[in-house]
């Protein structure tokens, strides 16, 4: 139980959003015909390849970056690419229930981009991204949440503003 409570929320967010992207990516391979209807007409007009190939290419991109995000390999880059991809899809789809859902996915992926690698990533394991400090600069002890019992080191009850 202690291990479960020690997992960071951003770790759960990273892995959860990666599973969503992985599901969407694989669905585009298994049910291609269902996804062709989502392709904008202007893309079909200018594309040198057919709609099935476009859906498979999109599915491949989502699958590769979803796996990268899930295992935490190039976490920031993968999250940013997926966030930009979802931003583009949100723009294309517009203000619909699908667009709002995709906007939420975009924000979640962007939050993972901002946080970067967590301790349960390959980036962290292989030192591809600098480790985050356990304590704030100038602190001797590990960071603790500020509670009524905890006061910053320079706090003196007699020195009130």
DSSP string, 61-76: HHHHHHHHHHHTSSHH
What local confidence, expressed as pLDDT, does residue 106 receive? 96
> What global pTM score does this model have?
0.75
Which sequence spans correspond to the domains of the chain? 2-125
Burial 108-135, CB ≥16 within 10 A → b, else e = bbbbbbebbbbeebebbeeeebeeeeee
How many angstroms separate the CA atoms of 93 and 98, rounded?
Answer: 7
DSSP alpha helix (H) spans, the chain: 2-6, 9-30, 32-36, 41-46, 51-71, 75-93, 97-115, 122-125
How many angstroms separate the CA atoms of 4 and 25, rounded?
Answer: 29
Residue ranges in the chain modelled with pLDDT below 70: 1-6, 129-161
What local confidence, expressed as pLDDT, does residue 156 receive? 54
What local confidence, expressed as pLDDT, does residue 118 receive? 85
């Amino acid at each position: 139980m202690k291990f479960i409570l020690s997992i960071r929320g951003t770790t759960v967010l990273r892995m959860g959003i990666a599973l969503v992207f992985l599901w969407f990516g694989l669905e585009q391979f298994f049910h291609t015909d269902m996804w062709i209807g989502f392709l904008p007409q202007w893309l079909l007009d200018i594309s040198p390849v057919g709609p099935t190939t476009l859906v498979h290419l999109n599915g491949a991109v989502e699958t590769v970056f979803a796996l990268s995000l899930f295992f935490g390999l190039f976490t920031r880059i993968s999250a940013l690419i997926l966030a930009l991809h979802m931003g583009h899809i949100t723009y294309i789809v517009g203000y619909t229930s699908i667009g709002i859902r995709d906007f939420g996915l975009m924000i979640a992926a962007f939050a993972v981009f901002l946080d970067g690698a967590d301790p349960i990533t390959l980036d962290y394991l292989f030192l591809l991204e600098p480790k985050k400090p356990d304590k704030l600069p100038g602190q001797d002890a590990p960071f603790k949440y500020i509670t009524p019992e905890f006061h910053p080191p320079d706090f003196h009850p007699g020195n009130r503003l």
